[in-house]
Amino acid sequence: MRLSQRQMQFVPCTEDYWEFVRDLRTGPETGKWFLQQAQITSQQQRTYMKLHWRNYFIAILEARPVGFVGSIDNDIRVCVHPDHWRRGIGRFLITELMQRFPHASARVKERNEAGNALFRSTGFVRGSTTSSRTDTGDHVPTAVWTLPDPALREA
């Protein structure tokens, strides 16, 4: 069932959530949609998050983390736990993120139906297809999604 925004909280990605983010980043149903596929150790995650945690946020539902979103160099990454897909959490995360990083954009694998639907439904506009390099050296077709200029959005 679809959640209302009032049922969720958007909180900073403090240390308690770093392993949750790692689990989603590397999980069998979720990890495959990221460009970087390499396994991430707990220690690597700690090192990375110490540097970047301020750019990441967590969706909380009934006191538990259910998804994360982040923007590094205006490049968005977002993931929701599979148990909670299609309840509006992805949309909630992107809407909140864009209030803090209004110029961020997303690169989404073309085959990623859910990822592309999420950005379409939150007002992003799809640009040309590009080829993105993965950490295994492969090139995969990706759709680039950007939000129209805020001034145009309000016009």
Ligand X SMILES: CC(C)(COP(=O)(O)OP(=O)(O)OC[C@H]1O[C@@H](n2cnc3c(N)ncnc32)[C@H](O)[C@@H]1OP(=O)(O)O)[C@@H](O)C(=O)NCCC(=O)NCCS
For residue 133, the minimal CB distance to ligand X (Å) is: 16
Residue choice 15, 16, 113, 138 for contact with ligand X (CB under 6 A): 113
Contacts of 41 (CB under 8 A, 6+ apart): none
Query: Which is nearer to ligand X, 97 or 108 (by Cβ)?
Result: 108
Q: Which two tokens stand for residue 21?
A: 């983010």
Closest CA to 116 of 144, 82, 150, 148: 144
Stretch that binds ligand X, among 37-45, 109-117, 124-132, 142-150 (CB under 6 A): 109-117
Closest CA to 26 of 15, 16, 41: 41
Tell me, by CB under 6 A, how many residues bind ligand X: 21
* Residue 121 touches ligand X, criterion: CB under 6 A: yes
Output DSSP code: residue 15: G
Query: Mapping DSSP to helix (H, G, I), strand (E, B) and coil, where does residue 138 land?
Result: coil
* Residue 91 touches ligand X, criterion: CB under 6 A: yes
Backbone φ and ψ for 137, nearest 5 degrees, come out as 90, -5
* Residue 80 touches ligand X, criterion: CB under 6 A: yes
* Residue 9 touches ligand X, criterion: CB under 6 A: no
Stretch that binds ligand X, among 38-46, 50-58, 73-81, 142-150 (CB under 6 A): 73-81
* Residue 89 touches ligand X, criterion: CB under 6 A: yes
